Amino acid sequence: MRKLTLRKNEERRLLAGHQWIFSNELAEIPKDIPAGEVVSLYSHSKKFLGVGFFNPRSLIAFRLLSRSEEDVSREFFEARFRAALELRKKIYPDKKTNAFRLVHAESDHLSGLIVDKFDSVLSVQTFSAGMERLLPEICEALQTIFSPSAIVIRNESELRALEGLERYKRLERGALEGKVEICDDDLFYLVDAMNGHKTGFFLDQRENRKKIRALAQNADALDVFASDGGFALNACKAGARSVLAIDSSEDALARAVANAERNGFRQLETLKADAFEALEALAKEGRRFDLVTLDPPSLTKSKKNVPTALQAYRKLNRLALSLVKPGGFLATSSCSHHVDEAEFFNVVQRASLDAKREIALLEKSSQAPDHPILLSMPETKYLKFGLFAVR
């Protein structure tokens, strides 16, 4: 195994629990090591630190996989997957769900790998050159543990470019006909693992969706950026009088409608539109709602665009708040990695002043526990969620 050496004192972040080394922290970048090769890492004073992936083309030059001298083989992945599975079984012990995020990258000591399990179908994403190279071993290990009916690779993220990786999707193993049905407590969702957004379905909001239920009883609810209807369906389940789901994707709304039918809900209406335009139009029409949920896609993929993203969050939350009846509620989210919680809530507060509403925070939270967060690695946290009473 090739060896990399750090510059003096650059091991501090790693020793504090982080898993990345940036290119400027290495003593040298050997250009002859191919992207994604497993290497060992040493401090300036020649102390062994661990093994991980090297990528000479990425700003994240080294991704730690193990702090001991392990072979990164099929067996390595099997052991990591079994540990990840044990945690999810503890988090979701009863058989009320057949879907969870099995692997949340660094949080499961697998830098650059995401695996979601939708009943018997596994959906895989790789974000590091190393995980891309080892996809055959990864799929072998998944096959051994789960005997899945299908494994799909959903490598369409633009973030892959940062590691020099192409974008593609494919059915890697097994057969996949149409959708796979998952349940989350008392709701059913039909997941299109091959064509749905990201891995096929957003599991990260699963707990937050349930938090709106008490407030959705007899409500006129508006779900903005509804996708497959996660929040909208929970509002229906809670007995909302009417639910309007807005999304710019016709396919996503078709899935939301199919999900409503599957659960026997009749209140759901959909509107294919740009959210900003639709919110303005609804305000002009004088429409008001008891509950508005906002769940936009990531509004910035980079640090430098954070100010623009914050402006967009401010506008969205202002528009949404202006549609809430006095005594109503707003559930607002941000999944932008680069916007931190304090910044996000600050912007929501400013939006409330813009909209001339007082808002009271009832609850804030983050991603579901099958997406664990390492406090030593802020990058593993991305979702911010706030539930507000609107006066």
Residues carrying an active site annotation: 335
Min separation Cβ 382 and ligand SAH, Å: 13
Min separation Cβ 328 and ligand SAH, Å: 19
Report the residue number, 106 or 223, with the smaller CB distance to ligand SAH: 223
Min separation Cβ 196 and ligand SAH, Å: 9
Neighbours of 134 (CB within 10 A): 23
Min separation Cβ 226 and ligand SAH, Å: 6
Long-range contacts from 180-184, C-beta under 8 angstroms, 24+ separation? 180/118, 180/119, 180/120, 180/121, 180/149, 181/119, 181/262, 182/97, 182/98, 182/99, 182/118, 182/119, 183/96, 183/97, 183/98, 183/99, 184/96, 184/97, 184/99
Positions of E strands within the chain: 3-5, 20-22, 37-42, 48-54, 60-66, 99-104, 113-118, 121-126, 150-155, 168-174, 180-184, 187-191, 220-224, 242-247, 268-272, 289-294, 324-334, 359-365, 384-390
Nearest to 66 by CA among 80, 84, 78, 56: 80
Residue with tokens 């402006």: 311
Torsion of CA 110, 114, 117, 121, to 10 degrees: -110
Neighbours of 311 (CB within 10 A): 12
- Give the Cα separation of 236 and 217 in Å (integer): 8
Report the residue number, 203 or 377, with the smaller CB distance to ligand SAH: 203
Report the residue number, 77 or 202, with the smaller CB distance to ligand SAH: 202
Count of all residues that appear for the chain in the document: 391
Residue with tokens 């051994």: 144
- Please name the residues in contact with 71: beta carbons below 8 A apart, sequence gap of 6 or more: none
Min separation Cβ 341 and ligand SAH, Å: 19
Tokens found for residue 333: 């989210």
Report the residue number, 226 or 238, with the smaller CB distance to ligand SAH: 226
Report the residue number, 20 or 225, with the smaller CB distance to ligand SAH: 225
- Give the Cα separation of 145 and 267 in Å (integer): 41
Binding site for ligand SAH (CB under 6 A): 197, 202, 205, 225-228, 230-231, 247-249, 252, 274-275, 295, 297
**What is the per-residue burial (b if ≥16 Cβ within 10 Å, else e) of 371-390?**
bbbbeebebbbbbbbbbbeb
Report the residue number, 192 or 247, with the smaller CB distance to ligand SAH: 247
Backbone angles phi, psi at 214, to 5 degrees: -60, -30
Min separation Cβ 231 and ligand SAH, Å: 5
Report the residue number, 197 or 371, with the smaller CB distance to ligand SAH: 197
Min separation Cβ 275 and ligand SAH, Å: 4
Question: What is the Cα Rg of the chain in Å?
Answer: 22
Report the residue number, 65 or 282, with the smaller CB distance to ligand SAH: 282
Min separation Cβ 246 and ligand SAH, Å: 6
Tokens found for residue 359: 């808002």
Closest CB to ligand SAH: residue number: 230
